[in-house]
Amino acid sequence: MTVPLDIIEVAIPLYLEKSFHYLVPERLKQTAITGRRALVPFGNRKLSGYILGKATGSSIGNLKEILEVLDSEPLWTAGELEFFRWTASYYQHPLGEVIRTALPAGINIQTRKGTSGEQASLTGGKTALREKFYLPGAVSAAPRQPGAKALEILAVIRDAGGISAGELRKRFGACTAQLKRLVELGLSKAEEREVYRDPFKGHAVKRDEARTLHTHQKAALDAIAQCLDGRKFTPFLLYGVTGSGKTEVYLQAIFHALELGKNALVLVPEIALTPQLTGRFQARFGGGIAILHSGLSDGERYDEWRRIRRGLARIVIGARSAIFAPLDKIGIIIVDEEHEASFKQSDGLRYNARDLALVRGRMERAAVVLGSATPAVTTVHAAEQGRLTLLELPERVEGRPMPAVELVAMKGSKETISPALSACLAETYEQGRQAIVFLNRRGFATFLVCTECGKPLTCPNCSVTLTYHRQRGQSLCHYCDYAVPAPGTCPSCGCTTLSELGAGTEKLEHDLKELLPPARIVRMDSDTTSGKGSHERLLSRMGDGSADILVGTQMIAKGHDFPCVTLVGVVNAEASLGMPDFRAAERTFQLLSQVIGRAGRGEIPGRVVVQALDTEHYAINSAAEHDAARFYREELEFRREAGYPPFSFLAAFAISGLSEEAVSAQADSTTRRLAQLKSELKVRVEILGPAPSPIYRLRNRFRRQILLKGANRGDLHRLLAAWRQQATIASTVRISVDIDPVDMM
């Protein structure tokens, strides 16, 4: 790796397909090494590029020279580069951009034309945190008296053999003058040292012991341990309801990996959940844990990254970007709540960390454990096919029963809160217990639902909900552009009383206040949690008993445990069924299962009231009956019939721009080009659209989308690669291609 390179290949972090060749001047020959960044001239700019290795098949010709080497240590290993290349190829994304995404924010720099070149760039990255340290000097006795306080300080410095300026200030207060004097006299010398910011600072943790595993946990751990011992890539699905002891299995599996000298990577979906989980890891393992998530400052993140790179952390916990952590000797990768959409990055490199965990795990010959109480439909299918090994934890650890659920039909009813829910709320309040009322109503994309039969209007071609566009007077399919006059009639029963679906959380809060005037109500949705820390503040009001009812959107469905919550109400269970997305039923089932699981975590058994217009829908009643197997069976049947994943592979083109005409023209020409390539290549890919995106105007940009459905990955990949070879894109529009899209908005 340390062979000096004469002509090097450099990846540039720009939307460019290829890498570039540069000459290495004599003075940089020793340092221009694979894995470091180089400052390179690019057009009339200077950019930092990534040195990939020696260039092959290039003549000196008119190559430019690199200007500077920016790092003293390599930033990635050969194995990591292989992973980056795989990612670039799969997501059809430039390698330079993949590397930029993989490295911590702040490490990348890009100088602009006109700024003072190298100097700015060499220091422009987020630097490591440095602190001044004072050490004993060469002079041992003072030639002149430096003062009593200075002598006291000197004694401490000599005692410690070296101590930070911050520590000295803590002990002696302001002491800059004395320190300066000591250095002048040669009694002490100052030195800058790298220190790490500590994201755990101030968090004392209690030590925690491994639990004796119950039978199912033990079987799961044995299977994982066997795979760790054999150093063989094995992917697992750890399927168990919340509280069934999954985390305990993760902890003990990681312990086993550490014993074998291996390291562990743990991916979690939500930043909000990380403190609890990291707390449990610390309690079990003590130090050696690094956290990587977007809640850290760039500096903290960079520090964590360096600690991992240098082997100082053996367990890495983080949100999706942690999949790129510079961890070596990975023995196990855990993806907790693997079904969560937040593992998918929604802009730039649109990777899915859950999927990449399997790829990195295969490359590292590691065990990969995907854990969930409500796994993705595609994951369940993979387990059925034997591509994942299924490990089940069928019951809760404490043996607490699942809550009793009452399903209330709201057909023909005008009120938000049914008499059944209202009575339960009153009773719970009188008993001095807490309740959660859940309504997943987001601000956009209204749809029409028949008040007679409770069915939403759906597209006959795509099996997704039609979106109601009031101004156009149409209900529209956002996949294929199918349209019908709106409001219109219900295609299922012919009735003409179609209504826009229901109220939001604000209205619900209002109605609850009228219903129970003395109850203290807290509302939690994106409107009330925008401030920093507001999320925790609202939740703490439930925790300390200063609130009786928590009202909220999907935000309240996850993670937190409220032992005093004995009642959960769900208003408009079908709210998320109306999303114009083929995963609407899956999301609804997962969300309902999670909300239902919020009830009765404590001593008192919980109960749940689910209000729905369409009580017959399998996503709703299978969640209410705790019958997951039935949900997955029916949903897979639907996916097979409609040709959606796992029975097809998707890619979505998003075309956006400020001019609607330009966007529409580009969408049309891109669709034509794709159709032409499809027939030339004879690939089995269905091209749907172009259609307006569900959010058809966002931040002033008009948006259209084209959806590609491939019968297999190979065909889809070939078509996309051919398109990318010679895509013609108007300068006023942007096109992004999303492989395995999750968010169809």
* Binding stretches for ligand ADP (CB under 6 A): 211-214, 217, 240, 242-248, 397
Contact between 205 and 279 under an 8 Å Cβ cutoff? The reply is yes
CB of 484 to Zn ion, least distance (A): 11
Nearer residue to ligand ADP within complex by CB, 101 or 217: 217
Among ligand ADP, Zn ion, none, the one that 248 touches (CB under a kind-dependent 5 to 8 A) is: ligand ADP
Could you say whether residue 480 binds Zn ion (CB under 5 A)? yes
**Measuring CA to CA, how many Å separate 530 from each of 341, 503, 525, 699, 744?**
20, 21, 9, 19, 24
Nearer residue to Zn ion within complex by CB, 252 or 671: 671
Among ligand ADP, Zn ion, none, the one that 480 touches (CB under a kind-dependent 5 to 8 A) is: Zn ion
CB of 456 to Zn ion, least distance (A): 14
Query: Which one of 279-287, 454-462, 467-475, 678-686 is the stretch in contact with Zn ion (CB under 5 A)?
Result: 454-462
CB of 299 to ligand ADP, least distance (A): 32
Nearer residue to ligand ADP within complex by CB, 248 or 548: 248
Q: Which residues in 229-347 belong to E strands, given as ranges?
A: 234-240, 263-267, 289-292, 315-318, 330-336
Nearer residue to ligand ADP within complex by CB, 210 or 675: 210
CB of 139 to ligand ADP, least distance (A): 58
CB of 167 to ligand ADP, least distance (A): 38
Among Zn ion, ligand ADP, none, the one that 215 touches (CB under a kind-dependent 5 to 8 A) is: none
Could you say whether residue 479 binds Zn ion (CB under 5 A)? yes
Q: Which two tokens stand for residue 734?
A: 């942007």
Nearer residue to Zn ion within complex by CB, 358 or 688: 688
3-class SS at 420?
helix
**DSSP string computed for 247-259:** HHHHHHHHHHHHH
Query: Which one of 251-259, 390-398, 457-465, 673-681 is the stretch in contact with Zn ion (CB under 5 A)?
Result: 457-465
Nearer residue to ligand ADP within complex by CB, 388 or 437: 388
Could you say whether residue 491 binds Zn ion (CB under 5 A)? no
Could you say whether residue 459 binds Zn ion (CB under 5 A)? yes
Nearer residue to Zn ion within complex by CB, 420 or 484: 484
Distance of CA 584 to the CA centre of its chain: 20
Nearer residue to Zn ion within complex by CB, 477 or 599: 477
CB of 378 to ligand ADP, least distance (A): 21
CB-facing half-sphere around the CA of 616: CA atoms within 13 A: 5
**Measuring CA to CA, how many Å separate 128 from each of 163, 299, 360, 383?**
19, 7, 28, 44
Q: Which two tokens stand for residue 331?
A: 């023995």
Q: Which two tokens stand for residue 370?
A: 């995907």
Among Zn ion, ligand ADP, none, the one that 213 touches (CB under a kind-dependent 5 to 8 A) is: ligand ADP
Which listed residue (437, 462, 476, 522) binds Zn ion by CB under 5 A?
A: 462
CB of 402 to ligand ADP, least distance (A): 14
**Measuring CA to CA, how many Å separate 159 from each of 131, 152, 154, 211, 596?**
19, 11, 8, 44, 61
CB of 618 to Zn ion, least distance (A): 21
Which listed residue (407, 477, 547, 596) binds Zn ion by CB under 5 A?
A: 477
Could you say whether residue 265 binds Zn ion (CB under 5 A)? no
Contact between 387 and 235 under an 8 Å Cβ cutoff? The reply is yes
CB of 563 to ligand ADP, least distance (A): 12
Nearer residue to ligand ADP within complex by CB, 122 or 283: 283
Distance of CA 437 to the CA centre of its chain: 26
**DSSP bridge partners of 47:** 40, 110
* Residues with Cβ within 8 Å of residue 544, at least 6 apart in sequence: none
Among ligand ADP, Zn ion, none, the one that 397 touches (CB under a kind-dependent 5 to 8 A) is: ligand ADP
Rounded Cα gap, residues 527 and 537, in angstroms: 14
List b or e across 146-171, with b for residues whose CB sees 16 or more CB atoms inside 10 angstroms: beeebeebbeebbeeeebeeeebeee
Start-to-end CA distance of the chain, whole Å, equals: 45
Rounded Cα gap, residues 729 and 667, in angstroms: 10
Quick one: the chain helix, strand, coil %, rounded to 5? 35, 25, 40
Q: Which two tokens stand for residue 464?
A: 């997704």
# residues contacting Zn ion (CB under 5 A): 7
Among ligand ADP, Zn ion, none, the one that 246 touches (CB under a kind-dependent 5 to 8 A) is: ligand ADP
Could you say whether residue 476 binds Zn ion (CB under 5 A)? no
Rounded Cα gap, residues 469 and 466, in angstroms: 9
Which residues in this chain contact Zn ion in the complex, by CB under 5 A? 459, 461-462, 477, 479-480, 482
